[in-house]
Amino acid sequence: MAYGDPGRPVEKTPAAMLEALFTSSPVGLHLLDPELRVVRLNTAAPLMRGEAPDDLAGRPIRDVYRMVEDNDMEAALREVLETGEPLWQRLVGARVEGEPPEERCFETTALRLEGRGGDVLGLAVTAVDVTERERVRARSRVLDAVLRRVGRTLDPVVTGDELVTAVVPGFADIAVVEVVESVIRGDEPPPAPLPPGTPLMRTAFRSGTTHPPQAHPVGDVRRLPAPTPFTQALADLHPRIVPLRPGAEWMPADPPRTEAMRSSDAHTLLAVPLALRDTVLGLVSLYRSGESPPFDAGDRRLAVEVAAHTALCIDNARRFVREHTVAATVQRQLLPRRPESHASLETAYLSVTGADPGAWYDTIALSGARTALVVGNVSGRGVNAAASMGQLRTALRSLSAFDLPPDELLARLHDTASELAFERAHLPLGDPLRREALTANCVYAVHDPLTGTCVTAAAGDLAPVVIRPDHTVGIPDTPTGPPLGAAQDAPFATAEFDVPAGSVLVFTSDPLVTAYLADSSRPLRAAPDYADRPLQELCDAVVYALPDGLGAGDAAVIVARTRAFPPGAFACWRLDGDSASVGTARARARKQLTEWGVDDETAYNTQVIISEFVTNALRYGSPPIELRLIHDRTLTCEVRDAGQAAPHLRHARTADEGGRGLFIAARLARAWGIRYTATGKTVWAEQSLTDGH
């Protein structure tokens, strides 16, 4: 049975169908001979824009398709001729001639045509214009890259660099990001329209060329000249596609940008505001240059999505910067300005950047020329961590006034932290702080220059690094107690170790930093003489010894160096257990104070204090009894005995004959107290010394 009009010859029907195919098909059809010359093509072919089909017949494919960018296309067609394997849906980029020339993308399929005898007749090639489809796919890839790459850090400057890396060269040939300077500092962004004269910082620039011209370097802070497309976009928050024609009326307002655009051969600008909730965070400027097609409406829609995501990331970074700044300020105000230093212990702090606002350090002067060194770290981040740190530091300082041993002090501090954690756990349900557990690590060490020892206790995995005069480096075996505030209720324990004169102790709130410094292979071990170097140089050596990513700026650090206590500034006598010991103690003290040049009033007050302390030791204590005088930043008088009973301050009534001794001693001394040891107790009193003593 034949198709078509029964009156026509059957053999003419295929030719009519072929003619209809070439005249009405929306797909570009091409017939090529074995020499890849055009035999026939239809009006839907990419070339058929003002060209007659007969004018192209017989011309080689390489001449007809000069706009094909894929130089391997002719080789691929010859391979189809030789092998007979079809070429399926190959994407070919082409520049179609016109005014202006247009970049198009075609999906090409090529089949070998054979005669009945198997001889090769040529090729049938189809070309379908898929430009819009591929543009949509390309935009989707760009958006996906932006969503994956932009916002990985909480740094507004880095965010801009992530953006330009994601869009160049896939979407733009040149990209520039400028952010309102106050936003980078963490301040609230200004409302739109952007106030005239608002400074912007150029945070990122990227170009597809090797040596791109720039109007201003990255990091430069400038006010945008007006009026220009840039200032207009920041006024109404609407993106703008601007053809960059020479002599445009706005160009004289901004000569540096105009010259940079001319030098880079840019022909189209897409200016997109970085805005969030009607506030201005900055501006993204995208350029296409050379043979790249101009931006169109689809590109503008994509740029708006990209800018919206970037603006949100920059605002998140701004909020983080703001919180970091506040937390760092709170931390700085809560930390001590200068360390406590004795003649026998020199200390220095490494600055804390606020990256860990819960970290703290402290040095506390104790009785008997001793010094407490404290480093801790509270869980959490931001202002809440800094506030909790301040609470624990204040509590620890208050407890240190009771002269408690390190293990007992941490046990009581643990109780305080547990109370704070309980209060936090019972905040209102909507308070996000309720879900953050409050725990803290802390190491508390007491250095005694008279014995040349250091006693430490730790809550959590913290311990000091000790560098002895012979350059041996190690971490004392400090028992690890539970973190402060944790549910565990294990006891704390102490460790005592020798610290010869000239030793250096490094306390950090980060166990990783401590472990790195203590490692025998680290450069800290090979540092020059620790005994004579300025302490600030030692602090610098600690920083230099740390690799990138393990900086001391994220931790609280104390560097302390021990020195021998002056032998002439300390006196100690063993006293007999009879009443004559009171007079003996006063006489020995008077002689020693005279040698030290202590003024008469202070010397007299010291003798009164010694009389009361020795009398109480004879009456309520147990032998042996020992008197010590320490001439340091203050004058300290100590009386030791083996008893555990503590004297207490009494306010005697008018008719009482006794009971005023300890009261009088307390009034004469600047401070007094009692500390207990495993072998007894020490009652001490401190008096201020006049200038020169």
Spell out the SS3 assignment of 109-148. EEEEEECCCCCEEEEEEEEEECHHHHHHHHHHHHHHHHHH
pLDDT cut 70: percent of the chain above it: 86
Distance CA 18, CA 464 (A): 91
Is the same domain home to 167 and 199? yes
Q: Answer yes or no: do 517 and 588 share one domain.
A: no
- Co-location of 165 and 110 in the same domain: no
Residue recorded with tokens 């020339």: 101
Residue 43 sits in a domain whose CATH number is: 3.30.450.20
Predicted pLDDT of residue 523: 54
Counting Cα atoms < 13 Å in the Cβ hemisphere of 118 gives 2
Domain assignment present for 314? yes
Provide the pLDDT confidence category of residue 65 given band limits of 50, 70 and 90. Answer: low
Token pair 């040149």 is found at: 174
Residue 312 has pLDDT above 60, yes or no: yes
pLDDT at residue 179, rounded to an integer: 96
Q: 298 in a domain, yes or no?
A: yes
Q: Which of 95-104, 492-501, 632-641 shows the lowest per-residue confidence on average (mean pLDDT)? A: 95-104
Looking at the structure, tell me whether residues 533 and 441 fall in a common domain: yes
Strands 480-481 and 453-459: parallel
Same domain? For 539 and 576 the reply is no
The answer to which of 146-155, 176-185, 420-429 has the lowest mean pLDDT is: 420-429
Predicted confidence at residue 148, as pLDDT, reads 93
For residues 512 and 479, state if they share a domain.
yes
Sequence letter at residue 113: L
Judged against a pLDDT cut of 50, whether residue 654 lies above it is answered with no
What percent of the chain has a predicted confidence (pLDDT) above 90?
39
The SS3 call for residue 458 is strand
Is the Cβ–Cβ distance between 563 and 345 less than 8 Å? yes
> Which amino acid, one-letter code, is at 664?
I
What tokens does 237 get?
């928050």
What CATH number is given to the structural domain containing 552?
A: 3.60.40.10
Give yes or no: residues 370 and 515 share one domain. yes
pLDDT for 674 beyond 50: yes
Q: Is the predicted pLDDT of residue 440 greater than 90, yes or no?
A: yes
Q: Does 447 lie in the same domain as 374?
A: yes
Question: Of the candidates 33, 92, 88, which has an alpha carbon nearest to the alpha carbon of residue 67?
Answer: 92
No. of helices (H) and no. of strands (E), the chain: 17, 27
Judge whether 28 and 44 are in contact, CB under 8 Å.
yes
Cβ-based neighbour number of residue 74 at 10 Å:
15
Are both 537 and 419 inside the same structural domain? yes
Examine residue 187 and state whether it is found in any structural domain, yes or no: yes
| Residue 544 pLDDT greater than 80, yes or no | no
Q: Is the pLDDT of residue 8 over 70?
A: no
| 201 domain-assigned | yes
Cα angle: 237, vertex 238, 244; to 5 degrees = 120
3-state secondary structure 570-614: EEEEEECCCCHHHHHHHHHHHHHHHHHCCCHHHHHHHHHHHHHHH
Mean pLDDT of the region 618-622: 86
Domain encompassing residue 156:
135-323
Residues 289 and 401 occupy one common structural domain:
no
At 194-253, the pLDDT tens digits run 998 899 999 999 998 878 889 999 999 999 998 999 999 999 999 999 999 988 999 999
| CA-based R_g, the chain, Å | 42
Arithmetic mean of pLDDT, 483-508: 88
pTM: 0.70
Sort strands 570-575 and 625-631 into parallel, antiparallel or unpaired.
Answer: antiparallel
Q: What confidence tens digit (pLDDT) does each residue in 408-437 have?
A: 999 999 999 999 988 888 888 877 778 888
Q: Taking the CB of residue 639, how many other CB atoms lie within 10 A of it? A: 25
Q: Which of 111, 129, 147 is the last residue of a domain?
A: 129
pLDDT at 124 over 50: yes
Domain boundary among 510, 542, 562: 562
> CA distances (Å), 552 to each of 296, 316, 338, 372, 473, in order?
51, 26, 18, 21, 18
Does one domain contain both 223 and 350? no
| CA–CA dist 97, 74 (Å, integer) | 20
CB 285 within 8 A of CB 171: no
pLDDT band of residue 378 (cuts 50, 70, 90) is very high
Judged by DSSP in three states, 274 sits in strand
**Domain harbouring 599, CATH code:** 3.30.565.10
10 located within any domain: no
Mean pLDDT of 282-296: 92
**Residue 601 pLDDT greater than 60, yes or no:** yes
Mean pLDDT of the chain: 84
Averaged over 34-53, what is the pLDDT? Answer: 69
What is the pLDDT at residue 191?
92
pLDDT digits (tens, 9 = 90+) for 249-279: 999 999 999 999 999 999 999 999 999 999 9
Structural contact between residues 550 and 517, judged by C-beta atoms closer than 8 angstroms: no
Distance of alpha carbon 384 from alpha carbon 558, whole angstroms: 23
Pair 192, 49 in one domain: no
Number of independent structural domains in the chain: 4
- CATH code at 238? 3.30.450.40
In the prediction, which pLDDT does 45 show?
Answer: 65
Per-residue pLDDT band for 657 (boundaries 50, 70, 90) equals very low
Look-up: residue for tokens 């001693």?
A: 665
The pLDDT of residue 672: 87
Q: What is the pLDDT of residue 342?
A: 73
Predicted confidence band of residue 471 (pLDDT cuts 50, 70, 90): confident
Q: Report the pLDDT value the prediction gives residue 587, as an integer from 0 to 100.
A: 92
In a domain, 20, yes or no: no
Q: Is the pLDDT of residue 354 over 70?
A: no
Q: Tell me how far apart the alpha carbons of residues 660 and 653 are, in angstroms, rounded to a whole number.
A: 9
- pLDDT for the residue 147: 92
Q: Which residues 6+ apart lie within 8 Å of 684 measured at CB?
A: 367, 368, 636, 637, 638, 639, 672, 673, 674, 675
In a domain, 693, yes or no: no
Inter-residue long-range contacts of 487-495, CB under 8 Å, 24+ positions, other chains counted:
491/407, 491/411, 492/406, 492/407, 492/408, 492/410, 492/411, 492/414, 492/457, 492/458, 492/459, 493/407, 493/457, 494/405, 494/406, 494/407, 494/455, 494/456, 494/457, 495/455, 495/456, 495/457
- What is the per-residue pLDDT for 658? 44
Q: Is residue 19 part of a domain?
A: no
Query: How far is residue 462 from each of residues 270, 442, 512, measured CA to CA in Å?
Result: 55, 7, 10
To the nearest 10 degrees (0 to 180), the angle between helices 406-425 and 382-400 is 140
Mean of the pLDDT values across residues 48-65? 65
Q: What is the DSSP string of 635-661?
A: EEEEEEES--PPP------TT-SSS-H
Domain boundary among 323, 356, 386: 323
The continuous run of DSSP H or E covering 162 comes out as helix 156-167
Residue 551 is predicted with a pLDDT of 67
Q: What is the mean pLDDT of residues 377-381?
A: 88
